[in-house]
Amino acid sequence: MGAAASSIAPAGSTISDTQLPMEGPLSPFPPEVIDVILEHLEWREVLALLRVNSLFYGAIAWRIVNRVRVFERDDVLQVEARHTERRLFLSTPVVSRWLPLFVAQLDVYPHDVRVVEHSTCADMVACERHSSPRLRELLGPVGRLELPNLRTLRLFFNAGPLHTDMAPNEPSPFPCGVLPSRRPENITFRGVPARALKYFHSHLPPRYCDVLVRQVHVIGPELVGEHGTVNGTIYLNWWDGGRALDTLESAEVVFWTPAGGEWLPIPPSREQEWAHGPLQRWFDRMLRTLQMSFIELSETPPPMDWGLDTAQPRKQCKPRLTIVNAGAISSACYARPTDVTTPDKWASYGAREEAVAAAFEALWRTTLPPILRGKRAQLAQRVRFVSLDEWVQEGKWRDVFDPAEVGLEG
């Protein structure tokens, strides 16, 4: 990794000098000169300079750290710092009291809810012996992560529940203590089965989604089946009560094929392929629940949701729905037995994407409640289908995937 540290800082990402220790006799160089120095250093030299004193830390750390991940190892919750643009995991000495200022993204991996008898991850202070010292340094006075500049929360479920010792189809009796106190603007779900997502709001502190702008669901074929998306169910309005949010601008569903090629649901038994009927029912249910939950996102909030201090009702949410990589879905999911086709009818990506989009459009005409049929054109205008390549070129992969996952240098 011979790149200079300053070359990896995303455009516009900076931390106010007033937040950092930039004064005092700690360096013979002003910050502007340090910037020039960094242009000529290798990574090992940058890391050495990072440890000189607080001034160098403040001048450098924001360039190489904007993300932390929390995960469980040997029954202990750990924290690890890195930058989203490089596969550079920083050693624990880098995690200092200034680190929270740089963190814009938090990755949370599955962990045991009951890390010690009679205490849970909801009570981080009570279970200090079961979290790493570096993680405890990031906890605020109420025992939650204090990340004042957090924007993005990525949740990795690995096709199971966030709390590894709880059933995926049961609500949590308390909010998850690993979640930061600051509400995120973006939430990405990686590998979450619908059963877990249905009750996920019970893991959140009250009104945790009130500033949510973007939600992304990454759905792999391993999530389909008995323990996956429940015959194709996709929930977009998963927060408490499924109420509409006036802040939500975008909902995205990514059909993820890490190795490329065809996206085909994994059958309940790997020894036998699904018959045509179950695949078709899965596809129909997937489109129907995706569409209906999108409609619910666009409903006007009920009066009880206005808030006691609000004189006027909140504005109606008009989010956009983006369906990514639909052309990768196998034609075995939507081909009808009565189709008289040539073998290459769905051979191209474009033809398969058009078939999925046509099926989605057909649902607008057949399943919309009568009261919404007049709004069909307005709703349809807020739905778009894009390929994975187009989505990546637009920069939408950020906050969702790592660079290497989408074929970019990491």
Is 90 exceeded by the pLDDT of residue 123? no
The pLDDT assigned to 117 comes to: 41
Could you say which of 10, 32, 64 is where a domain stops? Answer: 64
Q: What is the pLDDT of residues 288-331, one digit of tens each?
A: 889 888 888 876 544 444 444 444 444 566 899 999 999 999 88
Contact of 283 with 247, CB cutoff 8 Å = no
Residue 221 CA to residue 228 CA, distance in Å, equals 9
Q: Tell me whether residue 286 is in a domain.
A: yes
Q: Tell me whether residue 159 is in a domain.
A: no
pTM for the full model? 0.81
- Better pLDDT: 179 or 101: 179
Residue 145 CA to residue 133 CA, distance in Å, equals 13
Could you say which of 64, 98, 116 is where a domain stops? Answer: 64
How many beta carbons lie within 10 A of that of residue 227, not counting itself?
16
Residue 246 CA to residue 360 CA, distance in Å, equals 25
Could you say which of 46, 64, 82 is where a domain stops? Answer: 64
Q: Tell me whether residue 201 is in a domain.
A: no
The pLDDT assigned to 174 comes to: 77
Q: Tell me whether residue 349 is in a domain.
A: yes
- Better pLDDT: 344 or 238: 238
What residues make up the domain containing 2?
1-64
Contact of 145 with 139, CB cutoff 8 Å = yes
Q: Tell me whether residue 94 is in a domain.
A: no
Total structural domains in the chain? 2
